[in-house]
Amino acid sequence: MGYADAVRGRFITFEGAEGVGKTTQITRAAAHLRARGIEPLVTREPGGTPLAEKLRALVLEPGQGAVGATAELLIMFAARASHVTDVIRPALEAGRCVLCDRFTDATEAYQGGGRGVEPDWIRALAGIAHPGLLPDLTIVFDAPAEVARARISTRGFGEDRIEAEDTAFFERVRRAYLAIAAREPKRVQVVDATRPEAAVAASVAVLLDAVVAGMDR
Ligand code: Z5A
């Protein structure tokens, strides 16, 4: 059961490897909800609070020197603890619909699948950073790594530290996301992100409508 079931709000996360179109789709999803009379809170990870945004810059900006897998893992969860305590839980408790660009599944996919961090460490830290909180719905946008990388290569700004990883890293990330979806088919829905934007958005709208049904407006 999603935490939000108990507190009226809805917690919806957008996941997938870099460049699959999460940011594009979260904007469209917010517009879709507004048209239904729901004003969502749109946020992102790592980030979403002043502290977490500083941690984001530290962990993603190139030129910080070496950042080992364990340091990267702990920074992601430090940012998450701040975000959950100060933004996500209060919004859910107030009955809001929270749309979050990445959450703990990203840690499982990137630090777990990509870097090989022990799954038990990730589970333990999740239990500390957000006890009892799971998304009501997670949408995994799925595309081969080459498709996603071709998209971001046209966007006109440089790569962050993790984006600079090779294609094999992003294929491991993709496989980790598909494994999460296979393990939790009720919470996690995979959407084919290789289709045109509007077609992807139509699939997302169906999933959103199902999860916000019955919310107070
Ligand atoms: N990270 C981590 O390692 N562990 C964690 O626990 C967390 C995060 C929470 C920041 O994530 C990094 O942090 C990320 C994982 C790591 N690093 N990487 N790699 P982020 O979400 O801020 O950054 P990102 O994953 O790299 O996302 P992105 O580059 O912003 O891509 P996106 O949001 O998925 O895609 P987009 O910006 O919407 O679209 C990319 C381009 O494709 C753009 O030009 C669009 O116009 C175009 N686009 C979008 N949809 C389509 C379709 N359907 N067809 C064609 N073109 C499209």
Query: In this predicted model, what pLDDT tens digit does every residue of 8-28 receive, in sequence order?
Result: 899 999 999 989 999 999 999
pLDDT tens column, 48-57: 999 999 999 9
What's the whole-number mean pLDDT along residues 143-168? Answer: 80
* pTM given for the model: 0.95
Helix or strand run (H / E) with residue 44: strand 41-44
Instruction: Choose among 200, 210, 209, 213: nearest CA to 26.
Output: 200
pLDDT at 29 (0 to 100): 98
**CA 17 to centroid of ligand 1, rounded, Å:** 7
Nearest atom in ligand 1 to the alpha carbon of residue 45 is: 9
Residues near 46 by Cβ (< 8 Å), separated by ≥ 6?
52, 55, 56, 59, 60, 75, 76, 79, 80, 83, 102
Query: What is the tens place of the pLDDT at every residue in 60-91?
Result: 988 778 889 999 999 999 999 999 999 999 99
CB distance 113 to ligand 1 below 6 Å: no
Task: Specify the pLDDT at position 4.
Answer: 45
Task: State the chain's mean pLDDT as an integer.
Answer: 92
In this prediction, residue 192 has a pLDDT band, given cuts at 50, 70 and 90, of: very high
**Residue 144: pLDDT over 90:** yes
- CA 56 centroid distance within chain: 14
Residue 159 has pLDDT above 80, yes or no: no
Distance of CA 214 to the CA centre of its chain: 24
Q: Is the CB of 15 under 6 A from ligand 1?
A: no
Tell me if 107 CB under 6 Å of ligand 1.
Answer: yes
Centre of ligand 1 from the C-alpha of residue 183, in Å: 23
pLDDT class of 216 with cuts at 50, 70, 90: low
